A = this chain, B = another copy of it.
Amino acid sequence: MSDLSQFVIPRGFRFGATKAGLKQSGRTDFALIVADAPASAAAAFTGNRVKAAPLLVDAEHLRATAGKVRVVAINAGNANCAVGQAGIDAALATCRAAAQTFSCKPEEVFPSSTGVIGVPLPAEKLIAALPELAKSVGSESDHFQQVAEAILTTDTVEKTAFARIEISTPEIDGPGKIRQEVRIAAVCKGSGMIHPQLVPHATMLVYILTDAAIEPTTLDSYLHDAIDVSFNRISVDGDTSTNDTVLLLASGASGAIVGPSNSEFAMALTQVCSSLARQIVADGEGVSHVVELRIDGAVSDGDALRVAKAIAHSPLVKTAWAGCDPNWGRLMAAIGYSGAAIDPETIDISFGELPICRNGGRAPEYDENTAHAYIQQPEFSITIDLRQGDGSCKFWTTDLTHEYIRINADYTT
């Protein structure tokens, strides 16, 4: 979905990026998303109780404006986290400068940061870069792509997703219905809590834009439903960042009004979020296998998720995948300590369509060589049926490789 030429950017937004001098690599590191008029906004932030300064400012700004955003200002190369009041001051100074540049209120600016923690953010570099950057923003796909590049840290690929749907709305002053085109474009960065050497952890930053007209509270509901089955269903290493942010903006520029229960819009949004979530997992640190977990037959969906997370966070399971080892006993152990209600004697496990474990013991059809060959694939699925109830979930995760250790343990003083 990354060939931009096939898609059209949502109307009502402009984009741009520049080099503010934060990345040691010298690459672009400061991006703007500018709405032509204040856009409806919904956001979700990390559950981590240590939150970076921009997240605190964002939450306050969204409260102050009742969910309206004009400018999103994103820097990579510095997380603006764990630096005390100086972090808040730096974020606010950036907002004030952006507000002046685009003639809006400082509260209509949404700052984001990703990069090194514990080092003060040099806001003056961002402020100095603003005037030229403001002149360069545009609404073409090339401009959108600039944002996708600038927000990366150790990601190896840009991550974007797009959708275009037609919405049926009642004809104004008429008996019929009209069909209106709605566009969704999304961009994100993140590949787990990655980062070599100096930077303590990477962050997932996600920006989703649509030109539908949607009220902020409705937008919020759509966003959380979509997050729940996408970004909240992935794990690379189980470490939750201090800076994770998902922002959904609706410009209304398409003229199409989307009310509270539009299944077409909900489906398109979920599709876009799921695509980005899987792109993040696939670009996870040192990843050599992407695994789709399908948990069925749990007492509840919550129990299914417990099983998925225990498996996704087990170093023994993840290293077995790295070695293409069909060691299903490690799955049994993780299921057992997940906290989910289970009966060891009703657990069935299959790799793709291959029966591996039945009734908690080795399946009669189990063949180690076939199982080994199956999980040599770069992407594969594992289905676990607990046969206890109707709870289920899907979850995407990765293996744990030498390359992960190399990236995170290599330290040069």
Residues of A participating in the B interface, judged by any CB pair closer than 8 Å: 46-51, 79, 81-84, 116-118, 193, 197-201, 237-242, 313-316, 319-320, 322-325, 327-330, 332-337, 342, 344-345, 347, 357, 359-362, 368-369, 372, 400-402, 404-406, 408-411, 413
Contact = CB atoms under 8 A, between A and B. Distances in A.
B409 A405 contact: no
A402 B406 CA distance: 8
Contacts of A116: 329
A413 B337 contact: no
Contact of A239 (B49, B200, B316): B316
Given A84-B361, A315-B239, A336 B405 contact: no
Counted per complex, copies of this chain come to 2
Most chain B CB neighbours (cut-off 10 Å) among A82, A117, A323, A360: A82
Contact of A327 (B200, B345, B368): B200
Nearest to A240: B337
A107 to B, nearest CB: 23
A234 B94 CA distance: 45
A411 B372 contact: yes
Contacts of A117: 329, 332-333
B325 A242 contact: no
Majority-rule SS of A interface residues:
loop
B315 A404 contact: yes
A33 to B, nearest CB: 26
A241 B402 CA distance: 24
A252 to B, nearest CB: 36
Contact of A49 (B328, B342, B372, B401): B342
B408 A333 contact: no
B197 A329 contact: no
Given A201-B316, A316-B237, A413-B369, A333 B405 contact: no
A52 to B, nearest CB: 10
Nearest to A288: B409
A272 B349 CA distance: 41
| 5 A-B pairs with least C-beta separation | A200-B329, A50-B336, A117-B329, A323-B409, A319-B408
Contacts of A316: 193, 200-201, 237, 239, 408
B320 A118 contact: no
